[in-house]
Amino acid sequence: MACFQGKVAMITGGGSGIGLACARAIVSGGGKVMLAGRREDVLAKAADTLGPAARWVHCDVTRMADVEKAVTATERELGPLTLAVNSAGSATLGSVLTARPDEFLHTIDTNLLGVYRCMRHQARAMKVNGGGSMVNISSIASVLTHRSMTAYCVSKAGLNMLTRCAADDLGQHGIRVNAVLPGLVETDLAAPLVHTQEAREDYLRCMPLARIGKPEDVAQLVAFLLSDEAAWITGQCVAIDGGHTLRRGPNLVDLFRHFLPAE
């Protein structure tokens, strides 16, 4: 188990799924966590389950003021920020022909610019605090096309390069930045895919290790990358997907077809 004794983390999207699993791993290792997100009832419940080492704060990552206030609240309530997991995200359906520009922009604003906003303020705090470590939650959709999920794929591909650029920018301040690329994991966001037989079976056909991932699978890798055990690792985008990225993206076109306008 990674040691986070005396460490403070901010986790966006921390109320459920991968974000919450990462919070559990940090708390189990002796750290403290600030859960940041938009759903206050979900955040409050999650923080209660984690105990006195956890707090929560409302934060919409599409709003710079929210992000700044969340970082400030983290340091005020828990101490100097040295760890961050940027897990907040959203998805929308649509191809180049069918996706509305406003929907495309919202996905980019949340998944790419939202992480940029968070990293900007997290890094400023970590620089003052003598360094730190960030992990961004990307996706196998950053490297494998998912038809009818164009905006999501583009946003996650951009996130990978943002991660690499930030690692290059921030290394001089002792700040490490990495990303993980989960495959299909049992989360609220992925529930329509996990629980639809056609989609689930196609994902499994793409995986040498043919099972659906759990949030804890991803959290273990995130915890390692955050920890001092990974002290010489930065700028890496690591897939955790049962081997899915060895093959192809999922075929979800027929599943999505009745949700999309005609081309």
Alpha carbon separation from 6 to 2, 3, 120, 128, 214 (Å, rounded): 12, 9, 23, 17, 27
Structural contact between residues 234 and 225, judged by C-beta atoms closer than 8 angstroms: no
Alpha carbon separation from 28 to 25, 58, 95, 133, 208 (Å, rounded): 5, 23, 42, 18, 31
Specify the DSSP element, H or E, that contains 123.
Answer: helix 114-128
Question: SS3 sequence, 53-81?
Answer: CEEEEECCCCCHHHHHHHHHHHHHHCCCC
Q: Which residues are catalytic?
A: 152
> What string of DSSP letters covers 161-197?
HHHHHHHHHHGGGTEEEEEEEE-SB-STTTHHHHT-H
Helices and strands (H, E) in the chain, number of each type: 10, 7
